[in-house]
Amino acid sequence: MNKRIVKRNGDELFPLGLGAMRLATKNNSIDKEVSKEYILYAIENGVNFIDTAYAYHGGESERFLGDILSLADSEGVKYRDRVKISTKLPSWMVRSREDMDAFLNEQLRKLKTDVIDYYFIHNVDFSSVLRLKE
């Protein structure tokens, strides 16, 4: 499949991304073995965009992805270097500018990266817009 070019930044993305909202679960937790297997399978087969969020899987999705993406493939290339990551600021939890910075820094730590390629505001409603505008 041909990759699509994001005009704004030149990123070349596979037409399908992997969403981490519905990772495999076992006993109400991420089934790490199964989820790792299908994430690595997706990357090895061309998927280079992974979407997650602060709230997914009780806050564990980002941490789990950070662990997986910090692994290296058979050529020694970290999986993180092969994908673009998007995640989301939990707008309903933000009360100040300092909160935004704290969430971003926490997400960077959990994802074990120094860059989040695409960062969205999650679950925006009118009251969130007014609160974030301040």
- Per-residue pLDDT tens, the chain, 134 aa: give them: 789 999 999 999 999 999 999 999 999 999 999 999 999 999 999 999 999 999 999 999 999 999 999 999 999 999 999 999 999 999 889 888 899 999 999 999 999 999 999 999 988 777 766 766 76
CATH number at residue 38: 3.20.20.100
**Confidence (pTM):** 0.90
- DSSP, collapsed to helix, strand or coil, labels residue 5 as strand
Q: Rounded to 5 degrees, what angle do the CA atoms 46, 41, 39 make?
A: 100
Residue 129 belongs to domain spanning: 4-133
The count of structural domains within the chain is: 1
For residue 127, the model assigns a pLDDT of: 73
Contact 17, 50 (CB under 8 A): yes
